[in-house]
Amino acid sequence: MNFSIDVSEALRGFTWGFLSAVSLPLGAVIGLWLAPTHRWTSALMAFGGGALLAALTLELVVESEEMGGFWVMGAGFLGGSLLYMALNHVVNGQGGFLRSESTTIVYLTEQKRAQTESMLERLSRVDILRALPPDEVESVLPMARPVEFKAGEVVFEQGAHGDRLYLIDEGQAEVLRARAGGDPERLAVLGSGDTFGEMALLRDEARSATVRATTDLAAWGISREDFQRLVAASPRLGAAVEALLQRRLDAPGGAPTGQGSARAWARAAMAGVSPGDLAPTSEDILHAQKEAGGAPMAIWLGILLDGIPESLVIGASMVGGATVSPALICGVFLANFPEAMSSAVGMRRQGMTWTRVMVMWASLALMTGLGAAAGILGFGSLPASIHALTAAMAAGAMLTMIAETMLPEAVEQGGSAVGLMTVLGFLAAVFTSTLDH
C-alpha cells in the first residue's frame, strides 16, 4: 500500500516537474527556427526572471520561514547560494560556461581580470614600468605579447641589439657573460615572475649578457618601439623615464626606484583599468569555444545545475498531498523558455547539430521531472526544520542562478525595457498565484 502511494506521489511530482520544463525543448525549437533578436530574447529573459523571483518570494521564502523560522531560512538561503557558486565554478572550469551568453561573458571577464592582475603584478617588479603613472597603465597592457622558447634556445646574445623587455611567465632561463679564453660565466638563474632586458626600453644599446632558456620558457615581451611610442604620448611618463634613466647612469646597479611600493602601484593600476577593457571580445569568445571543443557534457551539466534546485523545489512544494503552486510552475516555465532559446542558438554557433541540441534539451526536461519526483519523495520524510532548511537551500541556489545568469544577460542586450519586463513577469506570477484561491 505504501509503495503504491509513493509511486503515485512520484508520478505526480514527475508530471509537474516535466511540464514546467517542457519550455526547454520548446524554447530551443523556437530559438533555432526563428533566431529571435537579442532584444526579444532579453525581454523574455527579464520577464521569466521576474516571474521566478515572485515564485521564490511567494512560495519559498514565506513557507521556509513559517516552518523553520528566520535563522533556518536564512542559513538555508546562504548555504544554497554558496553551494551553487562552488559547483558552478567547477562546471565552468570544464567548459560549462559556454551554456549561455551571460555565463560565457561573466566567466571570461573574470578570467581576463585574473590575467590582468597577474600581468600588473609582474609589471610592478620592473622599476622602469613603475615610472608609468598607474592611471595610464592600461595603455601598456596590449604591448605585452606572448613569446615562447624551447629548452636550450637562446633568447638573445651578448652584444646583440637590445630591442625588448621580457617577463617570464613559466619556465627558467640562465644569464651568461662571456669570459676571455673560457666558458661563459653564469650570472643568474631566472624563473617565473622575473624580468630581464629592461634597459632596452631606455637605451638603444647592445645586450650586456646572453640569456638562454634552460627549460621550455613562456614569457611576455614588450618592444622598445612600443614603449617609446607610449613615452612620446605621455608627458608624465616621459619625464619620469628621463629621471629614472639619469639615476641609472649616475648609480648603475642601484636600488630600484618607482612610485611607491610595487604592490601599491599594482593595486592602483588595477583600480584604473576600466570595466570595458575586461569585457571579452568576440575573438576571445571564439577562442574559448575552440579551446573547450564545445564541451557538450560540461554545458549539459551546467544547465542541469541551473535546473536542479527548481525541480527539487517543485517536488517539495507538493509534499503531503499539497496542490502544486501555479506561481512556481509558471515562474519556472517562463524562466526556462528564453534561457533555452538563447542557449540553443549559441550551441549551434559552436557547431552542435540540431539533433544533439534537441536531445540535450529534451533530456534536461526529463531530468527536471525526475528531480521533482525525488523532491516530493525525499522532502516528505524530513522533519519540518530540515525540510525548511533544505527547501531554503534550493531557493538560495535558484536566487543565485537568477542573479548570475538570467538578469545579467537580459541587461546586456535588453536595454531600458529590462526593468519593465521584469516587473511584468513578477506581476504575472503573482496573478497566477491568485488563481488557486
Helix (H, G, I), strand (E, B) or coil at 156: strand
> According to the model, what pLDDT value does residue 173 have?
93
d(CA 201, CA 190): 19
With a cut of 50, say whether residue 1 has pLDDT above it. no
- pLDDT band, very low/low/confident/very high, at 258 (cuts 50, 70, 90): very low
Residues 181-208 have pLDDT tens digits of: 778 889 889 988 788 887 777 777 788 8
Quick: pLDDT tens for 348-394: 777 778 888 888 889 989 999 998 888 888 877 778 788 788 878 88
Range from 215-229, 249-263, 367-381, 382-396 carrying the lowest mean pLDDT: 249-263
Sign of CA pseudo-dihedral 232, 234, 237, 243: positive
Looking at every residue in the chain, the average pLDDT score rounds to 80
The pLDDT-based confidence of 151 (bands split at 50, 70, 90) is very high
Q: Quick one: pLDDT at residue 254?
A: 46
Place 212 in a pLDDT band, splitting at 50, 70 and 90: very high
CA distances from 123 to 95, 203, 241 (A): 30, 19, 15
pLDDT number for residue 251 = 54
Q: What is the pLDDT of residue 257?
A: 46
Whether 437 shows a pLDDT value over 80: the answer reads: no
Tens digits of per-residue pLDDT, 50-92?
888 888 887 778 778 888 888 888 998 999 899 889 988 888 8
Alpha-carbon gap, residue 50 to 427, rounded angstroms = 8
Asked if residues 212 and 171 have their Cβ atoms less than 8 Å apart, the reply is no
For the residues 324-336, what does the mean pLDDT come to? 81
pLDDT digits (tens, 9 = 90+) for 13-33: 899 989 988 988 998 898 888
8 A C-beta contact, residue 244 and residue 132: no
Domains of the chain: 2-95+294-436 (no CATH), 121-278 (2.60.120.10)
Task: Give burial (CB, 10 Å; 0-12/13-18/19+) of 114.
Answer: exposed
Label residue 436 by pLDDT band (50, 70, 90): low
Residue with the bigger pLDDT between 337 and 128: it is 337
User: Whole-angstrom Cα distance, residue 126 to residue 164?
Assistant: 13
The answer, yes or no, to whether residue 330 has pLDDT greater than 90, is: no
pLDDT at 333 over 80: yes
Cell numbers representing residue 368 in the block: 527536471
Query: In the predicted model, what is the mean pLDDT of residues 256-279?
Result: 72
Any idea which of 4-8, 32-36, 46-50, 171-175 has the lowest mean pLDDT?
4-8
Query: How confident is the model at residue 18, as a pLDDT?
Result: 92
Q: Which residues, 6 or more positions from 141, have their beta carbon under 8 angstroms from its beta carbon?
A: 116, 119, 120, 273, 277
The CA distance from 105 to 280, in Å, is 6
Identify the pLDDT of residue 295: 62
Query: Among the listed ranges 9-23, 282-296, 317-331, which one has the minimum average pLDDT value?
Result: 282-296
Q: Which of 307, 401, 410 is nearest to 41 (CA)?
A: 410
pLDDT of the residue at 136: 72
